[in-house]
Amino acid sequence: MSGIISESPTSAHPRNGMRSFLSRLNFSTQAGLAVLLLLVLAAIFAPQLATHAPSQQSLINQLAPPGGKYLLGADQFGRDIWSRLLYGARYSLIIGFSAITIALVLGSFIGMVAGYRGGAIDIVLMQMMDVILAFPSLILGLALVALMGATVTNIVIAIAFTATPAFARIARAAVMAQRDREYVQACHAMGFSGARVLFRHILPAILPEIMVMASLWMATAVRTEASLAFIGLGLAPPTPTWGGMVREGFENILSSFHLALFPSMAILLLVLAFNLIGDGLRDAIDPRMKDVS
């Protein structure tokens, strides 16, 4: 073990990067993965697990306490909170995954090209990224959604847009670190094209770092989506979103706190899971960071 820890992962052959780092995941990462897996399964099997239709109102049962017919209680319209949480998981996960996938692909591409080519292209691309980065991500997301309207696609675009510069930055730095290594020079010597070197040989080496970024940003994406819904820029009612449920629960927080409590806990769990995974991945890639913390 000590041998592995003292060894910098980037010094291993790039092709072994992914495999060696997966084997180094610690307990909290595994816990994070387990929670995430559970939530993903809950979202997939929402129709089977739900006890009610998520938008089915029953005004007689408004604000029903947890237990009995309603596992986690009912909201102000008598809608089952448990069922709404399950369906809400779909939106949180879909929006989080899609937004970060787009940001990852786009941002990494921009960053890699900028880092590999350097010069004017680097300056222009990274200046653009810096401008976006200068805005607080929630404010930027808020402006975009307010401008385009609150649909799943638009929320995904807004979050992806705010997350892209982070990936560009990290990809650029990683590529610059790899650019002058022997294996890259060897590729050049063999006459490989720039694109081939960049995407076939350098990409696998820098992927772990990007993945860490992705899981940490996934947490941010979930939080941003929930925040947007909380301030009323989420998907239109009666769509069950966790942020929207907290928002509606807020009106009755004095008399029935369970309305806001359960969706808040769901958001907490998902964000925590992504953060645990992200932290674990980072430790696995760069053990020195773990020692520092």
Q: 108, 174 in Cβ contact below 8 A?
A: no
Q: Is 255 in the site for other proteins (CB under 8 A)?
A: yes
Q: Is 287 in the site for other proteins (CB under 8 A)?
A: no
> Cis link prior to 238 (omega < 30° from 0)?
yes
For other proteins, give the closer residue by CB, 76 or 101.
Answer: 76
Residue for token pair 């290594």: 181
For other proteins, give the closer residue by CB, 77 or 183.
Answer: 77
**Whole-angstrom distance, CA of residue 266 vs CA of residue 242:** 8
**CA atoms within 13 A of residue 145's CA, in its CB half-sphere:** 27
Q: Which of 113, 129, 150, 260 binds other proteins (CB under 8 A)?
A: 150
Task: Indicate the burial class of 156 (C-beta count within 10 angstroms; 0-12, 13-18, 19 or more).
Answer: buried
For other proteins, give the closer residue by CB, 65 or 232.
Answer: 232
Contacts of 200 (CB under 8 A, 6+ apart): 192
**Whole-angstrom distance, CA of residue 47 vs CA of residue 139:** 34
Q: Is 65 in the site for other proteins (CB under 8 A)?
A: no
Q: Is 237 in the site for other proteins (CB under 8 A)?
A: yes
Q: Is 62 in the site for other proteins (CB under 8 A)?
A: yes
Q: Which of 6, 19, 48, 59 binds other proteins (CB under 8 A)?
A: 59
For other proteins, give the closer residue by CB, 55 or 101.
Answer: 55
Q: Is 57 in the site for other proteins (CB under 8 A)?
A: yes
Residues that bind other proteins (CB under 8 A): 55-57, 59, 62-63, 76-77, 149-150, 232, 236-238, 251-252, 254-255
